[in-house]
Structure 1
Amino acid sequence: MWTIPNIITMFRVVLIPVFVVVYFLDWRWAHEAGAFVFWLAAITDWFDGYLARRLKQSTPFGAFLDPVADKLIVGAALLMITHSYASLWITIPAILLLVREIYVSALREWMGQRGLSATVKVSFMGKAKTTAQMLALIGLLSGMEYFMGFPIYWVTLGHVLLYIAAVLSVWSMISYSLAAWPHLKPSAGDDH
């Protein structure tokens, strides 16, 4: 259980309350610092998976905790941006992203219980959604449009990427559902 990748994943879970507290500090750079903590957590997500494969340290505990840690920190970030921006244009894609995460997690668990997890394994579309989502959240959390006087338009880019992530999210949810559908249809003799 105490492998390097698992320790990194647990570190990501520990970063969640740090991220939330830092973001809401009464301090000029609190949002930027919170976005940095979120970025650090996002980097550890890539790093723990890479090390698990490279060091051959994949474990059942790591396979369980890694996606849970991802969903916890992304869920926290989505709630925080809906609070900070208090805009329908942020809330709608944030809700779509949260709904997709819950739905696909439940679908994967159900399919896994039936030995069919390969049917709904992570696709390229899912990875593209995750990349767009993480970059969108970093931009929106930071609130930065300028850096040292230079325009960088992080917030504007964050809005665009949030919508791209939402579209990819719904698209991938439909794709996973279609792949799983033959196994979800009731067979003869089922009560439900």
Structure 2
Amino acid sequence: MFTIPNMLTFFRVLLIPVFVVVYFLDWKWAHLAGAFIFWLAAITDWFDGYLARKLQQTTSFGAFLDPVADKLIVAAALLMITHTYNTLWITIPAILLMSREIFVSALREWMAQHGESDTVKVSFWGKAKTTAQMLALIGLLSELEIFYWVTLGYILLYISTILSVYSMAQYMMAAWKTIRRHA
């Protein structure tokens, strides 16, 4: 349980309240500092997966906790940008992204109960969605207009939303035979 990858995942979970508190502090660089903490969490997500494979330290607990940690910090970030920007142009993609995460997590759990978890493994499109989403959130959280970070954040938020819906549809199609058989 106390492998290096699992410790990185625990660290990411512990970063969530720090991220939220720092982001809402009443000082000039709070949003930029919050974006940096979110970036740090995103990097640890990549490292824990890489190290788990490289060091052969994959565990069932890590396989459970890693996506939970990801979803928690992304949900917090989506709520925070929804609050900060207070516009439908952020709120609608945020709702779609969170809804997709809940739906796909439930689908994966249901498929695992029927011995079909390999059918809905993470796909290329799911990974592309995650990359676009993380970069979008960093840009939007930072509120930096330098180098068009916020504009890029908006664009990537919409790209990640499109990829999110597309990858959800792919997972549904992959699971459809099992759903029909057990529904």
Q: Which interval holds the TM-score relative to the shorter structure?
A: over 0.9
TM-score (norm 1): 0.94
Is 1:77 aligned to 2:77, yes or no? yes
Q: How far apart, in 2, do the equivalents of 1:175 and 1:2 lie?
A: 35
TM-score (norm 2): 0.98
2:162 maps to 167
Alignment of 1:99-114 (within 5 A): 99-114=99-114
Q: Report how many aligned residue pairs link the two structures.
A: 183
1:180 maps to 175
2:152 maps to 157
Gaps of 5+ in 2: none
1:10 maps to 10
Q: How far apart, in 2, do the equivalents of 1:181 and 1:59 lie?
A: 29
SS at match of 2:130: helix
CA-CA distance at 1:103 after TM superposition: 0.2
What is the identity percentage for the equivalent residue pairs of Structure 1 and Structure 2?
75
Alignment of 1:47-66 (within 5 A): 47-66=47-66
Ranges of 4+ aligned residues in structure 1 off by more than 3 Å: none
Q: Which has the higher helix share?
A: 2
Question: Match of 2:57, as an amino acid?
Answer: Q
Q: How far apart, in 2, do the equivalents of 1:35 and 1:113 lie?
A: 37
Question: Match of 1:165, as an amino acid?
Answer: S
Aligned in 2, Cα 1:135/1:101: closer, same or farther, shift over 3 Å?
same
Gaps of 5+ in 1: 147-151
2:35 maps to 35
Task: Report the RMSD for the aligned CA atoms in angstroms.
Answer: 0.8
